[in-house]
Amino acid sequence: MNRQRFTALLVAALLAISGALYLSTQRNLPRDPHGMALLPSLAGELNSVSALTVRKGAAAPVTVHKQGEQWTVAERADYPADVPKLKKLLLALSDAKIREEKTSNPDSYAVIGVEDPSQPGAGGTQIELTAQNGKHAVIVGKSAGEGTFIRRAGEKTSYIVEPAISVEAGPRYWIDTRLLDIATDKIQSVESKPASGAAYSVHRVPANPPKPTDNKSGSPSTAASATNPSTANPPPAEPSPAPAADKFVLDGVPSGRQAADSQTLAPSPAHFSNLTVEDVVPAGDIDFSKSSTVTVTLADGSVITFTGAVIGDKRWIKVAAPKDATLSAKANGRAFEMASYRYDGIFRPLELLLVPKPPPPPPSTKKPAAAPKP
């Protein structure tokens, strides 16, 4: 081997060793995660997500899963889930980017809410997604400005991610709260049988149609127009009066009392339109033995029956709608908790539909005449 070739081999060896040392050093340098996706593969798996499980503290986990083509809440007997709320969370997790790396010390996890969520009193909430290629799990902690503290389950390092992610662990949070929507202009009658107090019914009375305008051909103005061309252009006709509104009438007015006006008697859209609920349980879990009943009859002849019960500070209803297959599928065998103002508006006592009694006369303040002096 000549001297020139030996030198070339030596230089090549030194370059290879230097390159290996450089690459080794770069591998050992800490990577800056800023701007990286929290769950890099989730964006490509969103359409394959089939279940979401939320766990916090000692409470039982909540599972929202796909049953056929419908998302349901397992802990609410597979009642339909709030799909927009689910999609919002999935997109937030997919879009989450790491803003800053935080603690890897387990003793500090509780400070930012990313400790083991199964521990009693844990501040964090674990979210686990089941997708086609496996599971993704994160522990969502406290807010951090415009972001959130988060730790990927099974890893030591925690992060601040943006945008902020929020999640609730209660099953009632995940149900589809929309129950039914009754257009009040379709309501023909409402029959009420309260648990205590007098029964009554309110029914719609159609308004009389407006009388036709009198345009008999024999009227003087018409005859004059026909014989005198100069008056052939009649004056503009007066606009027809607006049709009168239907009225509601109260049946079952007690003797000596007077029904309230039609506006008071009419069913309110605030009570029957876009009716929402706050929770749902099996109907057998609620005591309806002392219940009130309201039966609503619609213009097409269909009937919706509400059965209500007050249990403690909560209002519960059952709904029966034999001619509405969609509503029956949601309501059969279930009881719904609803806001008290909605409940009270549906189950109105008779007294609210009557003209108030006049107040009793005030006690006499006239002093008795003084006795004459002897």
Cβ neighbours of residue 47 closer than 8 Å, sequence gap 6 or more: none
Phi and psi at residue 261, to the nearest 5°: -70, 165
Q: What is the C-alpha to C-alpha distance for residues 230 and 233, in angstroms, rounded to an integer?
A: 8
Residue type, 133: N
The model carries a pTM of 0.77
Long-range contacts of 222-230 (CB under 8 A, 24+ apart): none
What pLDDT is stored for residue 34 in this prediction?
80
Across 224-257, b (16+ Cβ under 10 Å) vs e yields: eeeeeeeeeeeeeeeeeeeeeeeebebeebeeee
pLDDT band at 359 (very low <50, low <70, confident <90, very high): confident
Average pLDDT over residues 201-211: 80
Average pLDDT over residues 170-177: 96
Q: Is 221 helix (H, G, I), strand (E, B) or coil?
A: helix
pLDDT tens across 82-128, in order?
999 999 999 999 999 999 999 999 999 999 999 998 887 888 999 99
pLDDT tens across 15-47, in order?
666 666 555 554 544 556 788 999 999 999 999
What pLDDT is stored for residue 219 in this prediction?
47
Q: What is the C-alpha to C-alpha distance for residues 165 and 92, in angstroms, rounded to an integer?
A: 6
Phi and psi at residue 110, to the nearest 5°: -65, -25
